């Protein structure tokens, strides 16, 4: 028996020692390089370059930091251990990216935005971008929601959306559950829920940032509604974009909606006025736990996770929350699907091979979902159910999903709308005055 045991132990030791030996390179670092590069989603990512290649991928953007990207790059390093990521924040990004792209410090991959398209001052940002629709690159573009993919007039694709954005409201699910209320799906329900909360002693059933027009609660609540009103009216869009004299009338329904919203007593503007900014202050106020609904954009939602630990109230009384569309009509809410951050590859880069390889690695449903979840932003893929925070948007019917790029409103037209809605919401103008002032806001 002892001999058998000794032999067994000796064999185990030998096997253990054998297991300690280095793996064959072919197992660890496959060097197969298919001529036609498969998309990374087909059977997982398969490197198409020599995995021992030593290189640096420089990525330029406007974020102070981009940890979510670094996480994905760590995954990429598992295939290409000798490739480094250099992420650089460019000051005054939107104005500087053109200069940067032409300078000595030009990145291989850079942030890009749909709204830059067609504007002369951002011409370099579009012109210096590689066409990512080239099938030879093997990007799995099919996993991305089509309405946020911007193809240029010549059919090329200078940028790929990595994050998307939308407007909505943070919902304190625990509070709803506690009070036996359901998250509203129509405007009528929204008003009823607000009243119900108020009756239950909640002074502010709904809040939002109101000090500046850019992401004020007025815009966040009515912009999707506005888009819905003009989405299928090309004439209206044309007039709005060209500041036609009659264009102001196209925003009237939205102005009336915000007036109704305010009159229905859903929000207390005085209380909202105490929220100093549309980011930290909004989140921390929501974490106080006494606000059932807080309007904000997807950008703000991305900051909630990190700020949980900074809120003593939330630490003391944590609760479940999610981000849902704001139902401003009786037909339900509109999912305003906007691209947020997009990646372009510098076609003049000396590292296009490895830059494209990284893009092929990144542009898959799995990786895009992962990077979005890590960043806290909405994913650009067709599947939003993976993230409870944004799952409600995935449930919005396609017919009620709108994209500003598809609608065709220019950025200037949107700014005019924002100014008008802010003026009415804050009581600086009447609806008529605001309608009349359309095109004159600065």
Partner 1 sequence: MKKILISIVNVVIIAAILTFVVLYSIFESRDSYQRQIEHFEDITVAMERVTENYLEGEQRLCDVWTRYINSKTMTIEEATDYIRVSHVLENASAHLIAIDTLTGLSTRPKLGTDEDYAVSYQRLNLLDNVDWIHEIGKSINVTRAYTNPMNGEQSLAFCNRITLYDSEGDTFKDAVLLRVIPISELEQKWMVPQTELVNAELSMIDGDGDYILKGYSFKNSDFFEFYKSYNPTDPESSSELFERITSSSGSISMINSHGQECVLAFTPISSTAGWTMLGLMPAEVLNVKNRDWMLFWVVSVGLVVLFLCDMFYMLYLNKCLQITARKAEAANKAKTDFLSTMSHDIRTPMNAIIGLTTLAEKNPGDVESTRESLRKIGLAGNHLLTLINDILDISKVESGKLKLCPLTFSIVETVENLVNLSQPMIKEKNIEFSFHINQIEKEYLYTDQLRLNQVYINILSNAIKYTEPGGRVSVELREGQSPTPGCVRLTYIVADTGIGMSPEFMKNMYKPFSRQIDSRVNSIQGTGLGLTITKQMVELLGGTIECQSEQGKGTTFTVVLDIPVADRQREDMRLEPIDVLIVDDDETMLQTASDTLKSLGASVDQASSGLEAIGMIEHRHLSGRDYNVIIVDWKMPELDGLETISRIRTEIGADVPILLTSAYDWLDIEEKAKAAGANGFVTKPLFRSTLYDKINDLIGKESKSIEPEDDYSDLQGLHILVAEDIDINWEIISSLLSMFGITSDRAENGRICVDMMRTAEEGAYALIFMDIQMPEMNGLNAARAIRKLENPWAASIPIVAMTADAFSENITECLDAGMNGHISKPIDIKLVIKEIRRIKEGRLQ
Closest to partner 1 by CB, 104 vs 263, is: 104
Strand partners, 418: none
Of 99-158, which residues contact partner 1 (CB under 8 A)?
Answer: 99-106
Q: Is the dihedral of CA 171, 177, 179, 183 positive or negative?
A: positive
- Residues in the interface with partner 1 (CB under 8 A) total 24
Closest to partner 1 by CB, 313 vs 437, is: 313
Query: Dihedral through CA 69, CA 71, CA 73, CA 79, nearest 10?
Result: -160
User: Which residue matches tokens 């480094």?
Assistant: 84
Q: How far is the CB of 70 from partner 1 (least distance, A)?
A: 6
Q: Is the dihedral of CA 214, 219, 220, 225 positive or negative?
A: negative
Sequence-separated (6 or more) residues with CB below 8 Å from residue 271: 203, 204, 207
Q: Are 71 and 89 in contact (CB under 8 A)?
A: no
Closest to partner 1 by CB, 15 vs 86, is: 86
Binding mask 38-77 for partner 1 (x = CB under 8 A): --------------------------xx-x--xx--x---
Q: What's the CA gap between 111 and 176, in Å, rounded? A: 39
Closest to partner 1 by CB, 105 vs 245, is: 105
Q: How far is the CB of 315 from partner 1 (least distance, A)?
A: 10
> Which of the ranges 90-98, 193-201, 229-237, 374-382 carries the binding residues for partner 1, by CB under 8 A?
90-98
Closest to partner 1 by CB, 89 vs 212, is: 89
DSSP 192: H
Which residue in 9, 12, 86, 395 binds partner 1 (CB under 8 A)? Answer: 86
Q: Are 104 and 344 in contact (CB under 8 A)?
A: no
Closest to partner 1 by CB, 12 vs 234, is: 12
Q: For strand 109-112 and strand 55-61, is the pairing parallel, antiparallel, or unpaired?
A: parallel
Q: What's the CA gap between 125 and 128, in Å, rounded? A: 6
88 binds partner 1 (CB under 8 A): yes
Q: How far is the CB of 317 from partner 1 (least distance, A)?
A: 18
In terms of Cα–Cα distance, which of 393, 49, 408 is closest to 230? 408
Q: How far is the CB of 79 from partner 1 (least distance, A)?
A: 15
Closest to partner 1 by CB, 86 vs 395, is: 86
**Which stretches of the chain bind partner 1, using CB under 8 A?**
64-65, 67, 70-71, 74, 84, 86, 88-92, 95-97, 99-106
């Amino acid at each position: 028996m002892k001999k058998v045991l000794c032999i067994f132990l000796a064999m185990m030791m030998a096997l253990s020692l054998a297991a300690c030996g280095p793996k064959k390179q072919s197992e660890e670092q496959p060097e197969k390089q298919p001529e036609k590069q498969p998309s990374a989603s087909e059977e997982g990512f398969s490197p198409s370059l020599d995995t021992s290649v030593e290189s640096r991928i420089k990525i330029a953007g406007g974020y102070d930091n981009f940890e979510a990207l670094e996480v994905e790059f760590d995954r990429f390093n598992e295939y290409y251990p000798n490739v480094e990521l250099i992420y650089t924040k460019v000051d005054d990004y939107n104005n500087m990216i053109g200069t940067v792209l032409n300078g000595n410090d030009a990145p291989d991959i850079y942030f890009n935005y749909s709204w830059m398209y067609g504007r002369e001052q951002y011409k370099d940002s579009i012109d210096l971008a590689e066409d990512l629709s080239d099938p030879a690159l093997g990007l799995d573009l099919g996993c991305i929601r089509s309405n946020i993919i911007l193809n240029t007039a010549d059919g090329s694709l200078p940028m790929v959306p990595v994050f998307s954005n939308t407007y909505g409201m943070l919902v304190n699910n625990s509070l709803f559950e506690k009070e036996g209320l359901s998250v509203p799906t129509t405007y009528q329900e929204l008003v009823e829920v607000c009243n119900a909360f108020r009756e239950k002693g909640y002074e502010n059933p709904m809040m939002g940032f109101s000090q500046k027009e850019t992401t004020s609660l007025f815009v966040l609540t009515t912009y999707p509604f506005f888009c819905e009103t003009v989405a299928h009216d090309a004439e209206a869009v044309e007039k709005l974009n060209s500041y036609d004299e009659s264009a102001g009338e196209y925003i009237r329904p939205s102005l009336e909606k915000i007036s109704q919203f305010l009159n229905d007593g859903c929000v207390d503007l005085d209380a909202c006025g105490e929220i100093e900014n549309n980011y930290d202050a909004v989140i921390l106020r929501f974490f106080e736990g006494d606000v059932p609904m807080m309007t904000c954009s997807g950008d703000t939602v991305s900051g909630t996770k990190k700020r949980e630990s900074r809120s003593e109230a939330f630490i003391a009384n944590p609760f479940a929350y999610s981000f849902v569309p704001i139902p401003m009509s009786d037909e339900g809410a509109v999912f305003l699907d906007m691209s947020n951050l997009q990646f372009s590859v510098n076609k003049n880069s000396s590292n296009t091979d490895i830059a494209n390889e990284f893009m092929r690695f990144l542009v898959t449903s799995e990786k895009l979902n992962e990077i979005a979840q890590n960043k806290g932003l909405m994913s650009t893929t067709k599947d939003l159910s993976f993230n409870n925070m944004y799952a409600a948007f995935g449930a919005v019917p396609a017919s009620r999903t709108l994209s500003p790029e598809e609608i065709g409103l220019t950025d200037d037209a949107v700014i005019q709308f924002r100014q008008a809605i802010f003026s009415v919401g804050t009581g600086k103008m009447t609806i008529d005055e605001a309608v009349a002032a359309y095109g004159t806001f600065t």
